[in-house]
Structure 1
């Protein structure tokens, strides 16, 4: 009938492939968690972002006070050095008291092209 029965060697290969995929998946998951943590840390003061704000040139986020002081000296992003014109507060964060979930959603939405 032409049915192929997997040999021990091919079964071992499948197990190795599965293990490699699981390890790769774990690395991606850890990288995602590290990126999420980086999104809520202000790289100017190295603390959790308070009164979140972002710059219009690249959408990187910082504490509102930190980036305001930075902009007085030089209006370039401290992370990527892209020039910016405005520091924009994330007003939803000020009213909720919870920074991470809403801030990440707002950052995502602001980075999407207009439909």
Structure 2
């Protein structure tokens, strides 16, 4: 039996409580803002020898490998509470294994009226 399935019982679900996954921590070690809509990407760097990564850390790294995803989506896919994912991401940030970008400011995003103007301009060509 692989270690990945060691913590799951088919009928009962996860056997390990979320606070145990986060090693009793409730806040990430890094000071980076890990907003729900912040996007996370793997840096592709190898895991340092000094890093003590759990199976959940490795699952999280796999979830962001080759793509950029929001924190809330990662949490949903892994079936872990957002608070736990933030703690795990903080660990990965400390080791330089992921990058986190804050969510885009609403003032910077295009409005529907602006997009409509672009469409109209393209049609006029």
Q: TM-score range by the shorter chain?
A: under 0.3
Judging by fraction of residues, say which structure has more helix.
Answer: 1
For normalisation by structure 2, the TM-score amounts to 0.23
For normalisation by structure 1, the TM-score amounts to 0.24
Whose RCO is larger (CA < 8 A, sep 6+)? 2
